[in-house]
């Protein structure tokens, strides 16, 4: 059975405004980790908001665990766990009290809830601080508590909206491990992120979303095959502000497929590194630019995104 | 959800200060200030000003005038010379003679503008003078008709006839056989009759309670913004609870907080200031619940308009203060013009204050306060319905 069948979802926030999500369709299979990968503002949160029944689609619909998000929102909510992008905790309540409140809001209660709270606190390494106010927790601990709340009731489908934004690498590592653990326990997962590495590491299948449109969908292997034989060159300049000038300079070079500049880096998709790289270095020298670092990568999701949109994922 | 709200509200001891202690301190301060309005804590209707009268006339009409003054709620003291800093009245030597002849006569009233009772004393003296003048006119008219009919002959009989008609007229006007009962267009207008208000401490206790509880109840406006800014509203909205349940829980929690505060402030008012809040417990509870519903509903309505915590804070505190001030929580509405009293009927705080002061000053029963409670509930239903409708569309 499919956990999610999204059919032509469209969302406009105002009647004559742009489409935040435009005709998005995909499926999440039982026990699968499905990632929606895209830059900020691509429509990931809007998609997850529609699927979790927080907002109504302008057009299209979806079945979540077999329930229609338009006509059976309560059944959908009972069958999912949501971890929102922003921390959704009561800072003045302790970690345990937070879990109790949210558990009760999900209709849980009694000894079963108490047991589950203890279990989740242990799973998230929060047992020692369970009685402390959540506002005194570190950022990583708050993220873990946020995740634990979403897991209450062990729903068959978890929706995680960029759960690792703004946290340290160690906490991120923890959260990715928990997501995998959840998946091993049988829960399907819809995971949104703008970190390519997370999507690559976690996902069974990946949907790439940009400007509200799902532009690619498949396994990592299927997606990278879209790029063909292209490889990715990543250059760091000593003059980060001059990235766009270099991009403009190398666009016409032989074997150059895509070029993009972002965050002081120039990302190039090329047919053959051995022939194109010397030309790029020469062009940089002609422009008076100094190369600090060159990285050659096998095709990955960033290459795919660059290939499909002409922009880097972080643009 | 209610337990959650209570836990968050009282997580700091400072909350108790704003919830209970500060309102009681303000009650004490305002009661002291309003003491001047009600003369040492007596009700306005019990108030009798002392009036010193220096009369150079000892005629019968002066005696009748003094009697009329006495009956007009003034304690009259006849003196040789008017003392300083008192309400004083000078009666000229020819007072009786001129009045008897139907001529215009002037008495001189010395008032004390700094005293709040000045206006009342002036009204009482005018009322007594008017009553006497009317009685004299009637007696003269009767005497004239009697003379025409040949009933009374001779100066002595004429005078006796005049005195008899005057006495009977004054008695009749003191206890008139027909009394006009003034009623406002609405049946619920029990208050508003000058001179039947609450004492200073009663006004302060009711007024400060309404003021501070309004801040708590209108705090419903902050609840949604807090949830939104904390990020918990989105999470709440994807739990298997309807929006009505979520909102109902939030509002119920706020209402419970308000009712607990009302109970504490009523108890504090009774124990510390001796205000007789306990005489009509059912009626008081009815008014309080209706007041809480109306004000929480208004808070919900505001919540759907404000977008930030700063906006919500400003509107809640400013709104509560404005509603309290306009609705008569800071001073008795009886001292305001009629048009003002009619205008502020659109505010729930006005009806709450009327109900609470009626409970205290007139011992209003459940039946008496039902109209007030009905109006407050009406406010609550309208505010809540509009607020719910707007909240359903929230994304």
Distance between CA atoms of A199 and A37, rounded to whole angstroms? Answer: 7
Look at B133-147, B168-182, B227-241, B247-261 and tell me which has the smallest mean pLDDT.
B168-182
Statement to judge: residues B285 and B334 lie in one domain: yes
Statement to judge: residues B319 and B219 lie in one domain: yes
Statement to judge: residues B120 and B212 lie in one domain: no
Within 8 A of B395 by CB-CB distance, chain A residues are 13, 54-55
Q: What are phi and psi of A146, to 5 degrees?
A: -60, -40
- Among candidate residues B89, B122, B86, the one with its CA nearest the CA of residue B108: B89
Helix (H, G, I), strand (E, B) or coil at A258: strand
Provide the pLDDT for residue B48: 67
Percent of chain A topping pLDDT 70: 99
Distance between CA atoms of A265 and A251, rounded to whole angstroms? Answer: 15
Statement to judge: residues B260 and B358 lie in one domain: yes
**∠ at Cα B174 (B168, B176), nearest 5°?**
85
Which alpha helices (DSSP H) does A155-262 contain, by range?
A: 169-184, 196-202, 220-226, 243-250
| CB-based contact B340:B347 (threshold 8 Å) | no
Distance between CA atoms of A51 and A84, rounded to whole angstroms? Answer: 13
**Cβ distance of B239 and A84 shorter than 8 Å:** no
B187 half-sphere exposure, CB direction, 13 A CA radius: 7
How many domains does chain B divide into? Answer: 2
Q: Which domain holds residue B79?
A: 49-174
Domain finish residue from B137, B159, B174: B174
Statement to judge: residues B83 and B36 lie in one domain: no
Provide the pLDDT for residue B321: 92
Confidence of residue B378 (pLDDT cuts 50, 70, 90): very high
Domain of B115: which CATH number? 3.40.1710
Q: How many CB atoms lie within 10 A of CB B112?
A: 14
- The DSSP 8-state label assigned to residue B82 in this structure reads P
Provide the pLDDT for residue A9: 96
Query: Has residue B189 been placed in a domain?
Result: no
Query: Has residue B187 been placed in a domain?
Result: no
Q: Mutation target for B interface from A58, A80, A92: give the one with most B CBs within 10 A.
A: A92
Provide the pLDDT for residue B362: 79
Look at B74-83, B160-169, B191-200 and tell me which has the smallest mean pLDDT.
B191-200
Statement to judge: residues B83 and B61 lie in one domain: yes
Statement to judge: residues B92 and B220 lie in one domain: no
Distance between CA atoms of A305 and A224, rounded to whole angstroms? Answer: 10
**Cβ distance of B231 and A86 shorter than 8 Å:** yes
Helix (H, G, I), strand (E, B) or coil at A56: coil
Query: Has residue B115 been placed in a domain?
Result: yes
- The DSSP 8-state label assigned to residue A4 in this structure reads E
Within 8 A of B239 by CB-CB distance, chain A residues are 77, 102, 105-106
Query: Has residue B120 been placed in a domain?
Result: yes
**Cβ distance of A92 and B234 shorter than 8 Å:** no
Asked if the interface predicted TM-score (ipTM) of this complex is over 0.85, the answer is no
- A128: distance to nearest CA of chain B, Å? 21
**Cβ distance of B235 and A53 shorter than 8 Å:** no
CA torsion through residues A69, A70, A72, A75, sign: positive
Provide the chain B residues 4-23 that lie in CB contact (below 8 A) with chain A.
4, 7-8, 11
Provide the pLDDT for residue B199: 75
Statement to judge: residues B117 and B214 lie in one domain: no
| CB-based contact A87:A142 (threshold 8 Å) | yes
Distance between CA atoms of B55 and B369, rounded to whole angstroms? Answer: 49
| 3-state class percentages of chain A: helix first, strand second, coil last, to nearest 5 | 40, 30, 30
B203 half-sphere exposure, CB direction, 13 A CA radius: 29
Which of A223-232, B113-122, B340-349 ranks highest by mean pLDDT? B340-349
At A237-264, the pLDDT tens digits run: 998 888 889 999 988 888 888 888 887 7
Domain finish residue from B174, B190, B218: B174
Contacts made by residues A309-312, CB under 8 angstroms, sequence distance 24+:
A309/A210, A309/A215, A310/A258, A310/A260, A311/A39, A311/A260, A311/A262, A312/A260, A312/A261, A312/A262, A312/A265, A312/A267
Look at A31-35, A174-178, A220-224, B332-336 and tell me which has the smallest mean pLDDT.
B332-336
Confidence of residue B14 (pLDDT cuts 50, 70, 90): confident
Alpha-carbon distances of B196 from B45, B151, B204, B332, B357, rounded to whole Å:
5, 47, 16, 11, 10
**Cβ distance of B240 and A106 shorter than 8 Å:** yes
Provide the pLDDT for residue A314: 62
Domain finish residue from B174, B193, B217: B174
Query: Has residue B181 been placed in a domain?
Result: no
Statement to judge: residues B14 and B91 lie in one domain: no
Within 8 A of B236 by CB-CB distance, chain A residues are 105
Helix (H, G, I), strand (E, B) or coil at B29: helix
Statement to judge: residues B349 and B210 lie in one domain: yes
The residue in chain A having the minimum alpha-carbon distance to the alpha carbon of residue B236 is A105
Within 8 A of B238 by CB-CB distance, chain A residues are 52-54, 77, 80, 82
pLDDT at B189 over 70: no
pLDDT at B35 over 70: no
Query: Has residue B238 been placed in a domain?
Result: yes
At A138-169, the pLDDT tens digits run: 988 998 999 999 999 999 999 999 998 888 88
- The DSSP 8-state label assigned to residue A257 in this structure reads E
Statement to judge: residues B32 and B104 lie in one domain: no
Greatest extent of chain A over all pairs of C-alpha atoms, in Å: 73
Query: Has residue B146 been placed in a domain?
Result: yes
Statement to judge: residues B230 and B132 lie in one domain: no
CB proximity B235 to A under 8 Å: yes
Shortest CB distance from B235 goes to which of A78, A82, A93? A82
Query: Has residue B301 been placed in a domain?
Result: yes
């Amino acid at each position: 059975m499919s956990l999610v069948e999204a059919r032509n979802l469209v969302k406009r926030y105002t009647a004559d405004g742009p489409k935040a999500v435009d005709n998005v369709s995909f499926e999440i299979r039982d026990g699968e980790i499905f990632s929606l990968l895209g830059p900020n503002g691509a429509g990931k949160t809007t998609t997850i908001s529609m699927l979790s029944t927080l907002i109504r689609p302008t057009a299209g619909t979806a079945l979540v665990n077999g329930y229609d998000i338009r006509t059976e929102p309560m059944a959908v909510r009972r069958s999912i766990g949501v971890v929102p992008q922003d921390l959704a905790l009561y800072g003045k309540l302790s970690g345990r009290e937070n879990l109790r409140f949210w558990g009760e809001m999900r209709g849980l209660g009694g000894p079963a809830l108490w047991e589950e709270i203890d279990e989740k606190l242990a799973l998230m390494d929060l047992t020692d601080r369970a009685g402390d106010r959540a506002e005194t927790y570190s950022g990583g601990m708050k993220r873990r508590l946020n995740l634990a709340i979403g897991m209450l009731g062990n729903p068959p489908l978890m929706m995680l909206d960029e759960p690792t934004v703004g946290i340290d690498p160690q906490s991120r590592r923890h959260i990715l491990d928990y997501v995998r653990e959840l998946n091993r326990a049988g829960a399907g997962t819809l995971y949104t992120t703008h970190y390519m590495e997370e999507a690559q590491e976690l996902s069974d299948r990946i949907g790439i979303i940009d400007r509200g449109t799902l532009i690619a969908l498949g396994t990592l292997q299927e997606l990278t095959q879209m790029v063909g034989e292209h490889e990715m060159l990543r250059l760091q300049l000593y003059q980060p502000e001059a990235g766009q000038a270099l991009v403009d300079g190398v666009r016409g070079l032989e074997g150059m497929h895509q070029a993009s500049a972002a965050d002081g880096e120039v990302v190039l998709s090329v047919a053959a590194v051995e022939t194109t790289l010397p030309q790029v270095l020469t062009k940089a020298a002609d422009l008076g630019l100094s190369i600090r670092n060159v990285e050659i990568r096998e095709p990955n999701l960033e290459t795919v995104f660059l290939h499909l949109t002409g922009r880097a994922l972080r643009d | 959800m209610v337990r959650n709200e209570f836990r968050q509200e009282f997580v700091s001891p400072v909350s108790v200060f704003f919830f209970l202690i500060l309102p009681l301190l303000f009650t004490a301060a305002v009661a002291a200030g309003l003491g001047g309005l009600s003369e040492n804590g007596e009700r306005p209707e019990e108030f009798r000003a002392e009036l010193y009268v220096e009369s150079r006339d000892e005629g019968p009409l002066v005696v009748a005038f003094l009697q009329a003054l006495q009956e007009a709620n003034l304690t009259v003291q006849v003196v040789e010379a008017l003392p300083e800093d008192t309400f004083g009245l000078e009666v000229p030597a020819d007072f009786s003679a001129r009045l008897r002849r139907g001529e215009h006569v002037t008495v001189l009233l010395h008032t004390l503008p700094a005293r709040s009772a000045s206006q009342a004393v002036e009204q009482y003296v005018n009322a007594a003078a008017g009553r006497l003048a009317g009685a004299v006119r009637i007696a003269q008219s009767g005497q004239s008709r009697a003379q025409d009919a040949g009933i009374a002959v001779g100066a002595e009989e004429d005078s006796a006839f005049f005195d008899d008609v005057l006495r009977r007229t004054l008695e009749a006007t003191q206890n008139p056989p027909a009394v006009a009962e003034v009623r406002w267009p609405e049946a619920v207008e029990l208050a508003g009759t000058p001179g039947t208000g609450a004492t200073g401490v009663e006004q302060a206790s009711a007024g400060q309670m309404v003021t501070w509880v309004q801040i708590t109840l209108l705090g419903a406006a902050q609840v949604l913004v807090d949830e939104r800014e904390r990020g918990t509203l989105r999470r709440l909205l994807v739990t298997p609870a309807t929006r009505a349940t979520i909102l109902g829980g939030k509002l119920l929690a706020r209402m419970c907080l308000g009712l607990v505060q009302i109970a504490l402030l009523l108890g504090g008012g009774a124990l510390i200031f001796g205000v007789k809040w306990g005489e009509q417990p059912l009626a008081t509870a009815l008014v309080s619940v209706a007041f809480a519903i109306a004000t929480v509903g208004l808070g919900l309505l505001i919540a759907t308009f404000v977008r930030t915590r700063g906006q919500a804070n400003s509107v809640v505190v400013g709104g509560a203060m404005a509603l309290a001030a306009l609705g008569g929580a800071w001073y008795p509405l009886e001292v305001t013009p009629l048009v003002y009293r009619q205008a502020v009927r659109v505010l729930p705080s006005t009806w709450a204050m009327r109900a609470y002061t009626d409970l205290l000053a007139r011992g209003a029963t459940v039946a008496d306060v039902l109209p007030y409670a009905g109006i407050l509930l009406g406010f609550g239903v309208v505010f809540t319905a509009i607020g719910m409708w707007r909240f359903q569309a929230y994304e």
